[in-house]
Chain A
C-alpha cells in the first residue's frame, strides 16, 4: 500500500496498479508501469518500471503530476503446460506441497509467490514428461516452516492412495527447511512402501536460470520411476555442481547448510544412491528393496513432544513447564555423548531432579546428541550414568529431529510402554548397529 497522499493522487487520476503512466516532477518526465508498493522501502514513494525494464522509486511531492497513458496491464501468466500421456513409461505421482521449488517471483510486485499448479513446473522442465507417465496432485501449497504433523498425516495418506491407484513411485515437492522432519515422519507413517517415495525441493527458486530445481526434479523422477528402492528418502544435489543428486534415507538426512544446493547430507549413513540427469542410478549402500510385504499406513501422531537443545547456563525448569503443559515426551539434544548438566556450581541447574520429575509424571524422556554425527552412550562418564539412572532412553545414533518425530509417531500409535520399548529399536533404518568409517 502507498501512503495516503499517493493513494489519493492515484484515485483522483483514475490510475490503477499495472497502468502505463507518465509522471512529471522537477521538470523530469518518467514513463513506465505503475507497480504496487512492496512492504519494504518508503511508502511515500511511487514505484514504476521504466520502459527499459529498470524499476525506480519517485518520492511524492506536492507538485508531482501523474497521468495515465494506457491501461495495458502486464500481468504474469504461465503458458499452459502440456502433459504428454506416455503410457509405456512408469507411472509416477507427483504430489505438490509447496516450498521454494514451487515458488516464483511475482514480476509485478517483485515478491516471491507460490505456484498454484505444480503443472507449471512442466513448462520449465519439459524433459520430465519423457521420464515418467506423470499424475500430478496439487495437495497443498505451504512453506515448509509452516508444516505441522497434520500436513505430514495428509501427505502420508496421499502417498498411500497414490500407490493404491497404481503409481510405482512417488515424488513429493516440498520446502527445504523442514524437509528432513517430513521425510522422517513419512518413513514412520508409511511402512513397507510399494515403491520409492522421493521428497525433493529447491534451494534456489525456479525463476532463476541457475535453479537447482531442474536437476533435483529430474533425478527424483528417475529414482521414483526406475529404482527398486522401497523406502522414503530425500533427493537433492550431491555437490554444488549440477551433476548428480543423492538419494538419502528419510531418517538419516539433515539440512546442513542455509543456502547451498548440496545442503542435505546423510548423517551416520551413506546415501542410498546417486542419480544423474540422464537417469543413471548408482547404488551406494544397502536399502529395502520393493517386495510384496504389505504397505502399512499409520494415521496418528502425538504432537505434544518437546525437543530441547541443551546448552551451558541453561535453567532445566523448562522441563517442568512441559510437564505442567501436559506434554507426553521430551527429546533432549544433549552435548557430546549425550550430556546435560548434572552437578553444576549452581545446584539448582542440575537436570537430574527435573528429568526424574518428568519421568515420574509419565513422560518419555530420551537423549540424543547435538553433535549429530556419532552415537550417544550412557556409561562412559559418571555423569552419563547419573543421567541414565533417571530412566531416560538413549537413542543410539538417531538424529535429534528424527527422535522427536519417532516419539510423536510412537506415542500416537502405541501405548506408552510399547512406545518406550520401541524408541531405541530400529524400525525403518533410523538406528544402525554399526558405525562405518566413511559416514
Chain B
C-alpha cells in the first residue's frame, strides 16, 4: 500500500505544484484530562442531570483596532438567541460566564507540552492565554480561550520534514442540541474540555500528503496517551489555496481516509471560480438593479412562492447583465448559484432561485417567466435571481447574494467551508476570520514554561518497541493506525496480559463488535482494566473474557454480576483435577469436559493435566 501511495504522489506532484497548491493542516484533539481547562467540571462523559438552562445574546465587540471582525459581524447578523442546558456535573458558573476562569488545569498543560515536545517543537518562555472572539454561541463567553504553547516543530512524512508552525492549547466549544428559527440550543457539557491544536506549515504538496500528515499526527497523539477516546475527540481542519485562489479552511471531515478527495474537489472549485472571474470580465458582466416582482406572481402555481407571499413575503429579483450560465456554472458537483445561495441564507431565507435553473421545476409557468424577463428588461444573455421572504429579510438576502457575486469578479473569497462527506465537496459556512479577534485573557496570569518539567517521548522508538512486543507486524500496523491504540497502551500498562495476546484479542474482538455497530471503546476504561486484569490473574478464561465483552458490561459490578449469573469463574488447578476425576469413565475426556465447561476451563491446562 505504501509504495502505491508513493507512486501516485510522484504522478500528481507536478500538477499540484503548477497550480501553486498550498495546504496545511489544523488537527484538534481533545485531551484525556479529568477536569476542564479552566474549571473543575468533569471532562469525562458523566454529565449528570439537567438542572436548568439560561438564554443569552452575544454582541460582537470592537477588536483591537476599533474594528469589528468581518466574520464576527457576519455571525452576529443572525441575531440568534442561545440557550444553554446546564448539567449537574459538567456545567458550572465558569462555563456559562458567570464566574471568572480558575487557574489553568496543569494536567492539560503537561499533556499539551508533552505533545509539543514529541513534535520537536520549542516552547515559548512565557505562555499567554488569549481570547479568540467567536459569537456563534458555541462559547457562552463569546470567545474561546487559547494559547500558543509550541512552535517550530516537525514531523517526518515519507522522509520529508513537515514543519509544525504552531501548537495551541484551547477550550472545546459546546455542542448543538437543536437549531430553530432565531434560536440555537447548546449542550455545554464538552465546553471547556482541553483541546490541543496542531498546525502544520502550508507545505503539504498534494491532497495525498495532507492525508498522510493527518494520519501521522493522529498516530502520535494516540501513542502519547494524552488523547481522549471516542469518536469526535479528534477533528481535522485543512487550509487549502492555489495561485489566484484563496485560503479556504475546510472543517468537519468525518474520516481522514476521504480527506484527499474533498481537498481535490475544493481545488477544482477554486479553479472554476477563477474561470468565472475571467468569464465575467470577458463578457463585461454587471450587477444591475433589484426589482419587486411580487405583483407578477400573486396567482402563481409555484408552491414556494405562493407560500412565501402568503407569509407576508415579497419577491425581489436581482438583474444580472451578461450573466447567462454563470450562476449555473459547475464548480464541482454544485453550481456557483449554490454558493451564492449560501450567503443569502445568512439573512434567514431558505435560498435563492435563479434563471440558470429549470424554473418550471419550481412551478413557474412560461408566461410568468416571460413577464419577469419583460419587467426586468432582460436580454438573452442576462440572468436574474430571486428570493421570497418578508421585505426586510428579502432585502438583506439580496444584499448578501449581491455581495457574493461582486466578490466573484475579483477573487476567490477567503472562507471557512464545511466538508460534505457524502458528495466529497465543501460548502460555505462563513467568511474566514481575520486577526482582529484576538485579545488577551486578563483573568488568567501568564504561565512561565521554564518551571514545568516535561517528559520527552521518542515516537519512533516507541513505535519500534510496540512492534517488537506484539511480534506480528500485520497486527501491530493495524493497531498503530487504529483508534484502539490508546486502549492497548493503557491495558498493557495496567494489566499483566501479554502484549501480543492483547493486541490480537483487541483487534479481532473490535472487528467482531463493529459488525454489530458496537465497539470495545463503548465500555469505560476502569471496567476494561478490571476485566482484563481478571483474565491476566487467571480468574477467568480467554473464552469467558470474550463472552463478557460481548455482554458489554459498563461497570466492575456488571462484570462481577455477569461472572456470577453465567457461572464464568475459571476452574483450574486442584479444582480442575477433581473435575477430571469425575469424568474418568468418559472415552473422550477432553471433549466431554470442554463440552460442559467450555467457558470455565483453559484447554491448554486441561490437556497438560490429562497427559
Contact = CB atoms under 8 A, between A and B. Distances in A.
Given A110-B442, A112-B442, A210-B142, A52 B125 contact: no
A221 to B, nearest CB: 16
Given A28-B152, A259-B93, A259-B100, A53 B437 contact: yes
Contact of A56 (B54, B127, B135): B127
A56 B126 contact: yes
A259 B152 contact: no
B159 to A, nearest CB: 23
A416 interface: no
Given A42-B448, A209-B59, A209-B143, A204 B97 contact: yes
Contact of B130 (A47, A54, A206, A239): A54
A41 B446 contact: yes
A231 B152 CA distance: 63
A241 B59 contact: no
A260 B97 CA distance: 8
Interface stretch (B60-68, B412-420, B532-540): B60-68
A45 B435 contact: no
Contact of A51 (B128, B133, B435, B442): B435
B120 interface: no
22 contacts: A26-B122, A28-B151, A41-B445, A45-B125, A50-B148, A52-B166, A52-B435, A53-B130, A56-B124, A56-B148, A74-B64, A79-B66, A107-B440, A110-B440, A125-B59, A206-B61, A207-B61, A208-B142, A209-B141, A240-B54, A242-B56, A260-B93
Given A40-B446, A74-B64, A240-B98, A54 B152 contact: no
Given A40-B446, A124-B59, A209-B135, A78 B66 contact: yes
Contact of B125 (A53, A59, A78): A59
Contacts of A57: 124-128, 446
A107 B64 contact: yes
A59 B435 contact: no
Interface string B424-440: 00000000000111111
Contacts of A8: none
Contacts of A208: 61, 97, 141-143
Contacts of B57: 214-215, 242
A51 B133 CA distance: 16
A54 B446 CA distance: 12
B450 interface: yes
Which label, helix, strand, loop or mixed, suits the secondary structure of the A interface? loop
Interface of A: 26, 28, 40-42, 45, 47, 50-59, 74, 76-79, 105, 107, 110-112, 123-125, 204, 206-211, 214-215, 239-243, 258-261
Contacts of B146: 54
Given A56-B126, A56-B128, A209-B142, A77 B442 contact: no
A261 B450 contact: no
Contacts of B439: 105, 107, 110, 207
Contacts of A260: 93, 98-99
B58 interface: yes
Given A76-B64, A209-B59, 5 more contacts: A28-B151, A76-B66, A240-B96, A259-B99, A260-B99
Indicate the member of A40, A53, A214, A240 with the most B CB atoms within 10 Å.
A53
A79 B146 CA distance: 28
Contacts of B346: none
Given A56-B126, A208-B142, A259-B99, A214 B147 contact: no
B207 interface: no
A50 B147 CA distance: 12
A57 to B, nearest CB: 2
B126 A45 contact: yes
A209 B435 contact: no
Indicate the member of A41, A54, A125, A243 with the most B CB atoms within 10 Å.
A54
A41 B59 contact: no
B485 to A, nearest CB: 31
Contacts of A26: 122
A41 B141 contact: no
B55 interface: yes
8 closest A-B pairs (Cβ-Cβ)? A57-B126, A209-B142, A53-B438, A110-B440, A59-B125, A55-B128, A56-B124, A107-B64
Contacts of A241: 54-56
Contacts of A243: 55
B251 interface: no
Contacts of A41: 126, 445-446, 448
Contact of A55 (B130, B140, B168, B450): B130
B140 A210 contact: yes
Contacts of B143: 208-209
Contacts of B166: 52, 54
A47 B148 contact: no
B132 interface: yes
